Amino acid sequence: MAKALCVFGVLGILTSTVYLAMVGIAVFRFHRRRTSSATFAPPVSVFKPLHGAEPGLREYLESFFLQDYPKYEILFCARHESDAGLKIARELSKKYPGVPTKILTCGEPHWPNAKCYSLNEMAGAAEHEIFVIADSDVRVTPSYLSEIVASLEQEGVGLVTSLYRGVAAQGGFWARLEALGMSVEMTSGVLVAEMLEGMHFALGPSMAVRRRCIAQIGGFEALGNYHAEDFMLGKLVAENGNNVVLAKQAVEHCIVNTKFEKSLKHQLNWMRSTRFSRPKGHLGTALTFGVPYGILTFTAASVLGEPWLGLAALLGTVLLRALQSTLVGGLILNDRAAVRQAWLYPLRDLLGSLLWVASYTSRKVGWRGHSFELSNHGLTRLVAAEAETAHVHEKIV
C-alpha cells in the first residue's frame, strides 16, 4: 500500500509540475504581448450593481469617478432606495458633478441571479453602446477605462474581461490567504485556459461588452437563471461569433471576508460554482495542486524507510508553488503581496485541494442570505432563505 501511495504521490507531483511549466509559458506569452494601445475611446456606460455597503465601498466606487477618459457615465442600481450603497453613490455623484451619474432601483429580483436583474435595469437606462460592468468590490486606476476599452477597437472583439489581483483590504491572515488564491490560482488557470483553447468565458469583477452582443444572446435575462453569469456571458458571446479577450491590465478585487468561516464559505462557493460551470476543467484541477502530492509522497516514503527522499519531494513542491506565486504575481498582476508572501502560497495550494474535494460534497451555495442549488451548466434555483448576517456582502466569484 505504501508503495502504491508513493507512486501515486510522485505522479501527482509530475502532473502539477507539468502544469506549472504550462503556467510559466502562458505567463511569458501574455507578458510579451502586453503593450498599451489606449487610443480607442468611444463613450461608455459603466454598470455598478450594489447591495449594501461593504467595508471600503466608498473608496472602490470613487475610483470610477476618477477615470482619465473623455466621455462616460456611471449607473448604480440596488433593490431599494434606502440601500446603504446607493447612499454612498449619491454622495459621490454630488462630489463629482462632472461625471454623469444615474441612480436606479430594480426592486426584488424575479430571477435567481439578482445581479443580472440589476444589470438588466441598467442596460435599459444606458445611453452608450459599450457597457463596462464592474463589481462593487473592485478598485481601479485612472487608466482603467482606457485600457479595457482599447481592445474593443477591433470590431470582431465582443467582450473584454480583466484578470484581477486579490487585495486583503481589511487585513487578516485568512483574507490574505484568500487573496493569494484569487491572484495566483485563478490567474494561472485563466492564462493556461486562454493559451490552450482561447477565451470562452469572462471574469465577473470586470468586463466590457458591446450592447449588440448582449442583444444577440437574448439580453441579461438569458443569464438570469445561471449562478456564474460571468462565465456564461463570455461563453454565449463567443458562441455567437465574437472574440472574447483579456485586457492588458488587471484590476484589484478587494477581499472583505476576514474571518475563517466566511472566507472558507466564499472560496467553497467559488469552487462549487466552477464545478458546475466547467465540469471537465474543474475535474482536471486535481492534477494542478502540488503540495498535497508532496505530503503524500513524504508520508509514504517515510513508511518505506526513505524519509529524506520524501522530504526532498515535499520541499520541491513547496518551492515550486512559491515560484508560481512570484511569477504570476510579479509579471502579470504587479501584485507585491503575492511576491512578498510567496512563502504562504503552498498553504493556499493545500487549502485549494481540500476545497476541491469539498466541492463535490454538495450542490448548494449561499449568496446574500439565500441558499441555491446548482445543476448542469451552472443553472441555479432558490432553495430557501437563510437568516441575514451582519455582513450583507457575501459575494461569489
Q: Tell me phi and psi for residue 42, to 5 degrees.
A: -70, 160
In the chain, the number of structural domains is 2
**All cell numbers assigned to 270:** 467559488
Provide long-range contacts, Cβ within 8 A and 24+ apart, for 211-219.
Answer: 211/123, 211/126, 211/128, 211/129, 211/130, 211/131, 212/129, 212/158, 213/158, 213/159, 213/237, 213/240, 213/242, 214/123, 214/131, 216/240, 216/242, 219/120, 219/123
Provide long-range contacts, Cβ within 8 A and 24+ apart, for 36-40.
Answer: 36/147, 36/150, 36/248, 37/150, 37/153, 38/143, 38/146, 38/147, 38/149, 38/150, 39/150, 39/153, 40/149, 40/150, 40/152, 40/153
Instruction: Evaluate whether residue 382 is within a structural domain.
Output: no
Report which of 119, 133, 131, 57 is spatially closest to residue 89, judged by C-alpha positions: 57
Of 256, 291, 321, the last residue of a domain is 256
Residues 49 and 98 in one domain: yes
Contacts of 84 (CB under 8 A, 6+ apart): 52, 53
Residues 121 and 204 in one domain: yes
**Strand 370-374's sheet: what is its strand order?**
364-367, 370-374, 380-385
Residues 241 and 281 in one domain: no
Of 221, 256, 291, the last residue of a domain is 256
Reading the chain (397 residues) residue by residue, the pLDDT tens digits are 888 989 899 999 999 999 999 999 999 999 887 666 667 899 999 999 999 988 889 999 999 999 999 999 999 999 999 999 999 999 999 999 999 999 999 999 999 899 999 999 999 999 999 999 999 999 999 999 999 999 999 989 999 999 999 998 777 899 899 999 999 999 999 999 999 999 999 999 999 999 999 999 999 999 999 989 999 999 999 999 999 999 988 999 998 777 888 888 888 988 998 998 889 889 999 999 999 999 999 999 998 888 899 899 999 999 999 999 999 999 999 999 999 999 999 999 999 999 999 999 988 887 766 788 888 877 777 676 543 333 333 333 3
Given a contact cutoff of 8 angstroms between Cβ atoms, the answer to whether 303 and 135 are in contact is no
Residues 88 and 174 in one domain: yes
Given a contact cutoff of 8 angstroms between Cβ atoms, the answer to whether 139 and 254 are in contact is yes
**All cell numbers assigned to 377:** 451548466
Bridge partners (DSSP) of residue 102 are: 75
Element (H, E) at 45: strand 44-49
Residues 53 and 195 in one domain: yes
pLDDT at 390: 37
Given a contact cutoff of 8 angstroms between Cβ atoms, the answer to whether 134 and 105 are in contact is no
Instruction: Evaluate whether residue 266 is within a structural domain.
Output: no
Residues 203 and 324 in one domain: no
Helix axis angle for 307-327 and 2-32, nearest 10°, is 20
Q: Which domain holds residue 343?
A: 2-30+277-358
pLDDT at 37: 60
187-209 pLDDT, tens digit each? 999 999 999 999 999 999 999 99
Instruction: Evaluate whether residue 267 is within a structural domain.
Output: no
Bridge partners (DSSP) of residue 384 are: 371
SS3 of residue 137 by DSSP:
coil
Given a contact cutoff of 8 angstroms between Cβ atoms, the answer to whether 348 and 177 are in contact is yes
Given a contact cutoff of 8 angstroms between Cβ atoms, the answer to whether 271 and 183 are in contact is no
Report which of 360, 355, 358, 346 is spatially closest to residue 290, judged by C-alpha positions: 346
Residues 154 and 227 in one domain: yes
CATH of residue 180's domain is 3.90.550.10
Residues 153 and 69 in one domain: yes
Residues 12 and 90 in one domain: no
Instruction: Evaluate whether residue 264 is within a structural domain.
Output: no
DSSP state of 226: B
Residues 297 and 202 in one domain: no
Instruction: Evaluate whether residue 372 is within a structural domain.
Output: no
Residues 39 and 16 in one domain: no
Instruction: Evaluate whether residue 39 is within a structural domain.
Output: yes
Distance from CA of residue 156 to its chain's centroid? 24
Residues 125 and 180 in one domain: yes
Helix %, strand %, coil % of the chain (to 5): 55, 15, 30
The CA distance from 331 to 323, in Å, is 12
pLDDT at 172: 85
Instruction: Evaluate whether residue 371 is within a structural domain.
Output: no
Instruction: Evaluate whether residue 67 is within a structural domain.
Output: yes
